[in-house]
Chains A and B, each alone.
Chain A
Amino acid sequence: MNYHWDWGIFFKSTGVGSEIYLNWFVSGLGWTIAVALAGWIIALALGSVLGVMRTLPGKLLPAIATAYVELFRNVPLLVQLFIWYFLVPDLLPTPLEMWFKQGISPATSAYLSVVVCLGLFTAARVCEQVRTGIQALPRGQNNAALAMGFTTAQTYRFVLLPQAFRVIIPPLTSEFLNIFKNSSVASLIGLMELLAQTKQTAEFSANIFEAFTLATLIYFVLNMSLMGFMAWVEKRVRIPGMMGGSK
């Protein structure tokens, strides 16, 4: 292979303004983080509500939550993104549609689409974890809380959820990392996040190997840091005397 390696490429000018290639990666990383964190907030909030719904007595609320999970888990992420970006805006009331298509910048409309898409997609997965976390608790905990006079809402708030969330920190960590990795689909609707900037660098400079090596490293370091953060959270909320906590 006659490839000319040049690791100095990242400090060279892109020819666009006064930017060097490294600026593109920094900006891309910023978008990746902005997409993933906003999506995660939606996923965690909505997923928790849905997960609770799946464990409630009665028929209607569990059925709604189950239908949601099946819908969002069984359609490919990329298909969902195209639906949110190309289809849903046309179904909005005209003023909203005009605002989405003309009132905001293309970057903002792409950003909103991908945040909603990733948030709702990941919510289905968070829902399943919250549900199993709750169902893994001894049934007696629910009874004990009710027997003390807690309402169902108080039982979840003070007794079931604080325990369930501790149980599911490890699988939630995986989802948290997944949303960062999945955010790369945004490159397909033109949002200049990390992957899009990498591709652009590769095209502009022809240093495709260096560009993708750096992108790989950035994703790797980012996810390792997130894992470290979640391990820290897990340690902080550990209960003395149980679940691997110290005596």
Chain B
Amino acid sequence: MSAMISINNVSKWYGDFQVLTDCTTGVKKGEVVVVCGPSGSGKSTLIKCVNALEPFQKGEIIVDGISVGDPKTDLPKLRSRVGMVFQHFELFPHLSITENLAIAQVKVLGRSQEEARDKGLKLLDRVGLKAHAHKFPGQLSGGQQQRVAIARALAMDPIAMLFDEPTSALDPEMINEVLDVMTELAQEGMTMMCVTHEMGFARRVAHRVIFMDKGAIVEDCEKDAFFGDINARSERARQFLSKILQH
């Protein structure tokens, strides 16, 4: 399997403060990689570097053969091929659900209104929300909004999906409806990089788990090794796991 996303020696600073230190990892085609770690460890920053929402000063990131940091790269085009789901959903509140699903298909990919609408509705049906097509984001629950956000990203036919803590802002009751959609997506072979604290999801679905602390990648191993052989893990990862696996 070839690398869909490869991250090589990426470092990033905010002024004097280093937020990422020599991060090297990758996501193969069809692979599901979960990135975890304490807050402030740089995991969200790293995933935002992948589609250039955050610039980085050192190293390189290659997505499907295209260098993200290269000033000559057509970033809008690259981003249109990589789906992203955010912690706070970020649906466009002034547009109906149908319009949220269609707008980028029409304005970025140049699809016709009907084509974009049909595609959007099909995906909306897939995430179980077809009945809400005419509503506005503010009229849906958090879990519903996040499912729409996933459908919106999928409507662009992405080659990979980035999830930035997609369930962190949700009520406990709504977490599963989002994780179910993500699980289904993973089983269909979507290439996924997920920043999440949902270790149950990681156990069930991930191929690999990356653990970050203080801007560096501390662990990067197969899921079974990560959860199975706890004594082989670093001290910091053991601490983290023991805290979040207690519940």
B79 close to A148 (CB less than 8 A): yes
- B82-97 contacts to A, CB under 8 A, are 82-84, 86-88, 90-94
Complex interface bits, B99-113 against A, C-beta within 8 A gives 1, otherwise 0? 000011001110000
Nearest CB in chain B: distance from A173 CB, A: 19
B139 — nearest CB in chain A belongs to which residue? A241
- Which residues of chain A are within 8 angstroms of B152 by Cβ–Cβ distance? 148
- Measured CA separation A217–B116 after assembly (Å): 54
A240 close to B139 (CB less than 8 A): yes
Nearest CB in chain B: distance from A193 CB, A: 38
B135 close to A148 (CB less than 8 A): no
Complex interface bits, A144-175 against B, C-beta within 8 A gives 1, otherwise 0? 11111111001000110011001000000000
- Which residues of chain B are within 8 angstroms of A158 by Cβ–Cβ distance? 92, 103, 107
- A98 interfacial contact with B, CB 8 Å: no
- B138 interfacial contact with A, CB 8 Å: yes
- Which residues of chain A are within 8 angstroms of B215 by Cβ–Cβ distance? none
- Measured CA separation A144–B162 after assembly (Å): 12
Which of A143, A144, A145, A149 contacts B77 (CB under 8 A)? A149
Nearest CB in chain B: distance from A200 CB, A: 48
Which of A146, A151, A163 contacts B93 (CB under 8 A)? A163
- Which residues of chain A are within 8 angstroms of B88 by Cβ–Cβ distance? 138, 140
- Which residues of chain A are within 8 angstroms of B153 by Cβ–Cβ distance? 148
A166 — nearest CB in chain B belongs to which residue? B94
A241 close to B108 (CB less than 8 A): no
Nearest CB in chain B: distance from A241 CB, A: 3
User: Given A141-B92, A158-B107, are A240 and B79 neighbors across the interface (CB < 8 Å)?
Assistant: no
- Which residues of chain A are within 8 angstroms of B227 by Cβ–Cβ distance? none
A143 close to B139 (CB less than 8 A): no
A140 — nearest CB in chain B belongs to which residue? B90
A138 close to B80 (CB less than 8 A): no
User: Given A144-B92, A239-B93, are A149 and B136 neighbors across the interface (CB < 8 Å)?
Assistant: no
Residue with the greatest number of chain B CB neighbours at <10 A, chosen from A148, A149, A150, A158: A148
A151 close to B90 (CB less than 8 A): no
- Measured CA separation A57–B94 after assembly (Å): 24
User: Given A148-B104, A148-B156, are A239 and B79 neighbors across the interface (CB < 8 Å)?
Assistant: no
Which of B79, B107, B137 contacts A146 (CB under 8 A)? B79
- A98-155 contacts to B, CB under 8 A, are 138, 140-141, 143-151, 154
B90 close to A138 (CB less than 8 A): yes
A150 close to B76 (CB less than 8 A): yes
A146 close to B108 (CB less than 8 A): no
A147 close to B84 (CB less than 8 A): yes
- B167 interfacial contact with A, CB 8 Å: no
- Measured CA separation A147–B108 after assembly (Å): 11
B86 — nearest CB in chain A belongs to which residue? A140
B94 close to A239 (CB less than 8 A): yes
- Measured CA separation A24–B69 after assembly (Å): 67
Which of B80, B138, B156 contacts A240 (CB under 8 A)? B138
Nearest CB in chain A: distance from B150 CB, A: 13
User: Given A242-B138, A247-B139, are A162 and B79 neighbors across the interface (CB < 8 Å)?
Assistant: no
A241 close to B92 (CB less than 8 A): no
- Which residues of chain B are within 8 angstroms of A239 by Cβ–Cβ distance? 93-94, 136, 138
B109 — nearest CB in chain A belongs to which residue? A149
B92 close to A240 (CB less than 8 A): no
B139 close to A154 (CB less than 8 A): no
- Measured CA separation A159–B103 after assembly (Å): 10
- A17 interfacial contact with B, CB 8 Å: no
- Measured CA separation A141–B107 after assembly (Å): 17
B108 close to A150 (CB less than 8 A): yes
Give the B-binding residues of A (Cβ under 8 A). 138, 140-141, 143-151, 154, 158-159, 162-163, 166, 239-242, 245, 247
- Per CB-CB distance, the 4 closest pairs between chain A and chain B, nearest first, are A241-B138, A149-B80, A144-B90, A242-B138
What are 6 A-B pairs at a CB distance below 8 A?
A: A141-B90, A144-B92, A148-B79, A148-B104, A151-B76, A247-B139
Give the A-binding residues of B (Cβ under 8 A). 48, 51, 53, 75-77, 79-84, 86-88, 90-94, 103-104, 107-109, 135-140, 152-153, 156
Extra contacts, 11 of them, besides A144-B86, A149-B79 (Cβ < 8 A), are A138-B90, A140-B86, A144-B92, A146-B76, A148-B153, A149-B76, A150-B107, A239-B93, A241-B137, A242-B136, A242-B137
